[in-house]
Amino acid sequence: MQQGIQLILNNISKIVSLTKEEQDLFVSKLQYIEYKKKEFFLHEGQFSNELNFIIEGCVLVYYTDHSGFSHLIQFAIEDWWVGDIASSTHNKPTQLNIQAIEKTKVLRISKDDLEYVFEAIPKLERFFRILVQKRVANLQQRIISSLSKTATERFIEFREQYGFLENRITQLQIASFLGVTPEFLSMIRRKLNSSKK
Amino acid sequence: MQQGIQLILNNISKIVSLTKEEQDLFVSKLQYIEYKKKEFFLHEGQFSNELNFIIEGCVLVYYTDHSGFSHLIQFAIEDWWVGDIASSTHNKPTQLNIQAIEKTKVLRISKDDLEYVFEAIPKLERFFRILVQKRVANLQQRIISSLSKTATERFIEFREQYGFLENRITQLQIASFLGVTPEFLSMIRRKLNSSKK
DNA sequence: GTAAATACTTAAGCTAGCTTATTTTTTTAT
DNA sequence: ATAAAAAAATAAGCTAGCTTAAGTATTTAC
């Protein structure tokens, strides 16, 4: 856990610098949690009242539609933040599922504590504002790609951006993220491989 | 313009409450600008260093791909904020075009002034954090829809959410927002109309 | 007020991506 | 180590949504 605290403070210090006292206050609000592989952080219909920082592991954020198909909205690994901003901003039950796909260690802060530290340490509110802005940039890029690119182009873009994940998540999950069937992704991969040599 | 200032202060007061002095400081940083129909706020390749609040009018935010096709990322009307968060967060030239499609009046604040007022009035940083969170919720919903719904379902959802815009933007623009061709949208509309009666 | 430009509709043929089904490979649990 | 489960590949037939093209309606600009 001690290493995790170093990691989270380091993550924050890339954007804002906190004094020792501010760090201690923030850290005092963190809860350390471990999830086993396949365990859920959050189920559809629950209220999302926490934000999680991943120390170790990998989680998926997905939406399950009325026909039971899952659609991968986001994934997160160590040194990333994960939570349902939509649910906690609008105080509505989440539509999403958040699930560990490896043994995962997180530091968690509740919504109430987060609001408290924002009040006490405005620099932290700045940090989170910038974090959320980066998320906007990321989501917007994904919309641009979904509107203007073919599945093959989106797969190539995925590899460039998230290639380091290719051994941690399955083809099924990549297909779900790209918005194609696994069968079609398999075809895309075959075509790319044969044209490569 | 005076009315515009009332509108913007009102918009902010729905989320945070400012003292008279704080309001005055914020307002002193605002610039009033008018655009004619078809004029651009921002062209692809430029740097986005402003945030705009629309007092009156309607603007489109779109991406133009390498084949010259436009894809509508966002639209905004009076009482909405518009800018390119991605470009200004990452200090990169924008990929987007922002264009007025009606005579449009805005109040604008530069990125530098915004950072200054965030420092001086932390409540304003909170306001913008929450504004950006709402944008995340909106973009995420759009990704969920694009992954899990057919074009017809997305059009019905568009009408429910943005029906009030149907007389201000064209079918071409709606098609571009939904990610279908105008011809196909025309077919969808015909089917929906014939099944309605 | 009128010509030109733009938006919208319709329809026929086409293709990217889906469905279903089978086989092979890899992972998981005991 | 092995059986069961899950993931991945291949292939044939299908469909939502695209392309092209031509015609009609509406806006725009002078």
Strand C contacted by B189 CB (< 7 A): yes
Is residue A184 one of the residues assigned to a domain? no
Is residue A150 one of the residues assigned to a domain? no
Is residue A159 one of the residues assigned to a domain? no
Q: B interface mutation test: which of A48, A67, A121, A139 has the most B CBs within 10 A?
A: A139
* Tens-digit pLDDT profile for residues B136-153: 999 999 999 999 999 999
Element (H, E) at A185: helix A182-196
Q: What is the mean pLDDT of chain B?
A: 94
Residue A176 CA to D8 C1' — how many Å?
14
Closest among A196, A169, A174, A195 to A185, alpha carbons compared = A174
Is residue B185 one of the residues assigned to a domain? no
- What does DSSP assign to residue B167? T
Asked if the Cβ–Cβ distance from A142 to B137 is below 8 Å, we say no
Is residue B110 one of the residues assigned to a domain? yes
Residue A166 CA to D11 C1' — how many Å?
26
**Cα–Cα distance, A34 to A2 (Å, whole number):** 14
Which pLDDT tens digits describe chain A residue by residue (197 residues)? 678 899 999 999 999 999 999 999 999 999 999 999 999 999 999 988 899 999 999 999 999 998 889 999 999 999 999 999 999 999 999 999 999 999 999 999 999 999 999 999 999 999 999 999 999 999 999 999 999 999 999 999 999 999 999 889 999 999 999 999 999 999 999 999 876 43
Is residue B132 one of the residues assigned to a domain? no
Chain B CB contacts of A95 under 8 Å are 144
Q: B195 pLDDT band (50/70/90 cuts)? A: low
Q: Are the C-beta atoms of A133 and B132 separated by less than 8 Å?
A: yes
Question: Within an 8 Å CB–CB cutoff, is residue B116 touching chain A?
Answer: no
**Cα–Cα distance, A13 to A11 (Å, whole number):** 6
Quote the domain boundaries for residue B106: 2-121
**Into how many domains does chain B fold?**
1
Report, in ranges, which bases of strand D sit under 7 Å from a protein C-beta.
7-12, 16-21, 29
Quick one: pLDDT at residue A66? 87
In this structure, the dihedral spanned by the alpha carbons of residues A137, A143, A144 and A150, taken in order and rounded to 10 degrees, is: 140
Q: List the Cα angle A75/A192/A144 in 5-degree steps.
A: 45
Closest among B114, B86, B25, B49 to A143, alpha carbons compared = B86
Q: B197 pLDDT band (50/70/90 cuts)? A: very low
Domain harbouring B13, CATH code: 2.60.120.10
Q: A interface mutation test: which of B62, B87, B124, B133 has the most A CBs within 10 A?
A: B133
Question: Within an 8 Å CB–CB cutoff, is residue A91 touching chain B?
Answer: no
Q: B180 pLDDT band (50/70/90 cuts)? A: very high
Query: B83-98 burial by CB neighbour count: b if 16+ within 10 A, else e?
Result: bbbbbbbeeeebbbbb
Asked if the Cβ–Cβ distance from B144 to A69 is below 8 Å, we say no
Q: Are the C-beta atoms of B117 and B95 separated by less than 8 Å?
A: no
In terms of DSSP H, where are the helices of B46-163?
85-90, 111-120, 122-148, 151-162
Element (H, E) at A119: helix A111-120
Does residue B35 surpass a pLDDT of 60? Answer: yes
Does residue B108 surpass a pLDDT of 60? Answer: yes
Strand C contacted by B186 CB (< 7 A): yes
Q: Could you say which residues from 27 to 66 on chain B have a Cβ atom under 8 Å away from some Cβ of chain A? A: 63, 65
Is residue A36 one of the residues assigned to a domain? yes
Give nearest nucleotide to B189 (CA–C1').
C9
Is residue B141 one of the residues assigned to a domain? no
